[in-house]
Amino acid sequence: MTGVGALPVLFGRTITRKWSDMLLGFAAGVMISASFFSLILPGLDIAKAETGSVWAAAAIAAGGIVLGALAVYAMNEALPHEHFIAGPEGADPGALSRIWLFVIAITIHNFPEGMAVGVGFGGGDVANGMSLATGIGLQNAPEGLAVAVALRGLGYAKGRSFLIALMTGLVEPVGGLIGVVAVTMAEALLPWGLTFAAGAMLYIISHEIIPETHRGGHQHRATTGLIVGLVLMMFLDVTLG
């Protein structure tokens, strides 16, 4: 879906910054909803069933969320990367070209999303996995468009902008595979995996997406998009799950 979202740039189509912020707000809303309804709440239920204690379940969920957030923080600090608006972050990029710094930044962003879907399916709950896959797919389209448009704004050609946006989405299946393997090999890891993925996504939402959508002064549109995305993902989770 990342590539599908980026397709308009091949035909010379672009969007204004305010619409880009609204679409990214939508993506953030989907991710917030997925984090709670499809990851944290099921993780709590599974942990409670495994341990027989609400206290232990809450501790496992809290631990998973914190570990997920710390993992993304560590990647942000260790890997050189550059955001379209916020600029460079992480380690010294050395001889890496600017375009690869953008790719690394988006890869850090997309990996936890793929892992969330993988963990959802790996836990054996196909309905939960389907709702996660649908929601993440929906939010990937506006993300892909936003990435491609940003690259065009930096002077990259249409074809190259599309291919880079498409390439950044390919890391999600890798994250999904890791998530599936981890929770399949050790069922006891399932609540940890679900909440870990949620923590990673929540960190990205707070650290990356929401600040990006508010820098251009379009907070109201971004917030509208966030609410729409959250409600839509909640509806999908309830109806498909």
Predicted confidence (pLDDT) per residue in 72-107, tens digit: 888 888 777 666 555 666 666 655 555 666 667 777
Do the beta carbons of residue 113 and residue 174 sit within 8 Å?
no
Q: How confident is the model at residue 57 (pLDDT cuts 50, 70, 90)?
A: very high
pTM: 0.80
Q: What pLDDT shows up at residue 227?
A: 95
Q: pLDDT higher for 27 or 141?
A: 27
Paired residues of 20 in beta bridges: none
Q: How confident is the model at residue 216 (pLDDT cuts 50, 70, 90)?
A: confident
Q: How confident is the model at residue 69 (pLDDT cuts 50, 70, 90)?
A: very high
| Tokens describing residue 177 | 């595979």
Q: Which of 46, 43, 169, 194 is nearest to 115 (CA)?
A: 194
9 — phi, psi (to 5°)? Answer: -65, -25
| Tokens describing residue 216 | 């251009």
Q: How confident is the model at residue 53 (pLDDT cuts 50, 70, 90)?
A: very high
| Tokens describing residue 232 | 């839509």
Examine the pLDDT at 142 and tell me if it is beyond 70: no
pLDDT tens for each residue of 157-203: 777 777 777 777 777 777 888 877 877 766 778 889 889 989 988 99
Mean residue pLDDT across the chain: 79
Q: Which of 205, 240, 238 is nearest to 29 (CA)?
A: 205
Q: What pLDDT shows up at residue 87?
A: 60
Lowest mean pLDDT among 5-9, 79-83, 180-184, 213-217: 5-9
Q: What does the alpha-carbon distance between residue 101 and residue 120 come to, in Å, rounded to a whole number?
A: 30
Question: DSSP secondary-structure letter at 156?
Answer: -
pLDDT tens for each residue of 24-51: 888 888 889 888 988 899 899 989 998 9
Q: How confident is the model at residue 207 (pLDDT cuts 50, 70, 90)?
A: confident
Q: What pLDDT shows up at residue 55?
A: 96
Burial of residue 50 (CB within 10 Å: 0-12, 13-18, 19+) is middle
Q: What pLDDT shows up at residue 7?
A: 66
Q: How confident is the model at residue 209 (pLDDT cuts 50, 70, 90)?
A: confident
> What contacts 24+ positions apart, CB below 8 Å, involve 12-19?
12/158, 14/149, 14/152, 15/145, 15/149, 17/216, 17/218, 18/216, 18/218, 18/221, 19/221
